[in-house]
Structure 1
Amino acid sequence: MLNGYGSTILDGVWLTLQLALLSMVVAISLGLLGAACRLSPIKWLALLGETYATVIRGIPDLVLILLIFYGGQDLMNRVVQLLGYDGFIDINPFIAGVGTLGFIYGAYLSETFRGAFMAIPKGQGEAGMAYGMSPLRVFLRILVPQMIRLAIPGFTNNWLVLIKATALISLVGLQDMMARAKSAGDATREPFTYILLAAAIYLAITSVSLLVLRYLERRYSVGVKAMEI
């Protein structure tokens, strides 16, 4: 049915999952850093975090991907030429994809994390300090667990969008699932079959992700709803 392209597309699926997961790790790191900057009492840090979130969220993903990949590669080669290197540095599409998607969705997660931290009553952190807990322990034992619970709905949405955005990285040369499905369709002259297959696989990945994240949301909400009632 797939004319021998099944294993090739499965390899592309694995590459797509790796791209999405590693990009999300980068995005979470940048999102937490961005949220910390935006909540900082230091004005220049708050401005830096706000600028990052506003600018990145205001530009289409495709424009940023092309700008960072081609612009970054050109800038890097110009710099190394000034340093005396005559060769050409070709950025690996996978590394570029992870960095670019992580950078983009870090801006979205910074807003998610910022809102979650702001929703936690200040008195809870103050109560922890009053019991003699260190600021780090208050952060890890009181604030972070509640932040995770409050951030999961927004995180879920960003994760689902990031998975779909991985298809854009095929435009810069990454042989992910989308690129391989398109190549198979072109070779067999059955583009609809392979594009439909790619759509079904994306739907399966997002559906499983949604189930897992909804389970985590229920897990982190244990006891909270009962207390509210």
Structure 2
Amino acid sequence: MSTLELLGFGSTGWGALLLVAAGVTLAVTAVALLIGAVLGAIVAAAKLSGNRVLVFLGSVYTTIFRGVPELLIIYLIYFGGSSAVTAIGQAMGYEGFLGLPSFAAGALAVGIISGSYQAEVFRGAYLAVARGELEAASAIGMSRGLRFRRIIMPQVLRYALPGFGNVWQLSLKDSALISVTGLAELMRTSQVAAGSTRQYFLFFIVGGALYLILTSLSDQVFNRAERRANRSMPSAMGQV
């Protein structure tokens, strides 16, 4: 069978399955990034709170999930979580094994990893906000909520964009590890196609090329978002 037939969209081709798998990779990465954003914001707030207990807990979270191998975390969430759910089910009278959905377990695992990096991105972005602006806002009587909405949040998001883009790329590549759960994302589908056709070099090269396309397009999206977010910076600096 020719290369064009193997990569085609016919009944014997793998083209459609690879494109669907690329979509699954994007979906699981997007969900993981949202989970990580929530966790990262909470942990960043804890580390900035000044409370010793919260600072310690936040530091433990970022240290563990940035230091432990990503694959181990995926194993713990997927297999350990499935064992825990099965034990709960058996305690309630259900017989048999209850496994976590591959997509949910994978997105949660990558999201937890992502959150440990996003926490530091958000913390650094907050520290980059000019203290004078916050003091001026307090001096004119802005409430804490209004100060957060009008001054802190817009600037934190702007300063966090470069780091946020790096975390997205990291999560996109980490999603390949979810293949161990059986989820038909890009890495898993490339493995199945290679094993079924014995064309290992071809399908792993194609899988790598698709990952490269996804990361390159992501770079373009984040670069455009950064330029848009920083459009007002030159004029603002000129008024200082």
1:54 and 2:56 equivalent? no
Q: Aligned residue pairs: how many?
A: 229
Q: Distance in 1 between matches of 2:63 and 2:127?
A: 18
Q: SS at the partner of 1:124?
A: helix
1:93 and 2:102 equivalent? yes
1:153-204 deviation line (CA, Å, top 9, x unaligned): 1111111111111111011111111111111111111111111111111111
1:104 and 2:113 equivalent? yes
How far did residue 91 of structure 1 move? Answer: 0.7
Q: Distance in 2 between matches of 1:27 and 1:78?
A: 27
1:80-118 deviation line (CA, Å, top 9, x unaligned): 323433332111100101111111110110011011101
Equivalent position of 2:184 in the other structure: 175
The amino acid across from 1:34 in the alignment is V
Equivalent position of 2:16 in the other structure: 7
How far did residue 227 of structure 1 move? Answer: 4.3
The amino acid across from 2:58 in the alignment is G
Q: Distance in 1 between matches of 2:209 and 2:187?
A: 12
Unaligned 5+ segments in structure 1 are: none
Q: SS at the partner of 2:231?
A: coil
The amino acid across from 1:224 in the alignment is M
Q: Distance in 1 between matches of 2:195 and 2:77?
A: 28
Give matches, 1:174-193, under 5 Å.
174-193=183-202
Equivalent position of 2:164 in the other structure: 155
The amino acid across from 2:221 in the alignment is V
Between 86-95 and 159-168, the greater mean CA deviation after superposition: 86-95
How far did residue 228 of structure 1 move? Answer: 4.2
Equivalent position of 2:231 in the other structure: 222
Q: Distance in 2 between matches of 1:18 and 1:123?
A: 40
How far did residue 226 of structure 1 move? Answer: 4.7
* Identity between Structure 1 and Structure 2 (%): 37
Equivalent position of 1:140 in the other structure: 149
Name the Cα RMSD after superposition: 1.5
Between 153-162 and 130-139, the greater mean CA deviation after superposition: 130-139
Q: Distance in 2 between matches of 1:215 and 1:40?
A: 33
Q: Distance in 2 between matches of 1:24 and 1:41?
A: 26
Equivalent residues of 2:83, 2:99 under 8 A apart: no
Give matches, 1:66-85, under 5 Å.
66-85=75-94
Between 158-167 and 84-93, the greater mean CA deviation after superposition: 84-93
The amino acid across from 2:71 in the alignment is L
TM-score by length of 2: 0.90
TM-score by length of 1: 0.94
Q: Distance in 2 between matches of 1:143 and 1:24?
A: 21
Q: Distance in 2 between matches of 1:61 and 1:36?
A: 24
Equivalent position of 2:41 in the other structure: 32
Higher relative contact order (CA 8 A, sep 6+): 1
Equivalent position of 1:115 in the other structure: 124
Unaligned 5+ segments in structure 2 are: none
Equivalent position of 2:207 in the other structure: 198
Q: Distance in 1 between matches of 2:92 and 2:77?
A: 22
Q: SS at the partner of 2:97?
A: coil
Between 101-110 and 6-15, the greater mean CA deviation after superposition: 6-15
Q: Distance in 1 between matches of 2:79 and 2:212?
A: 30
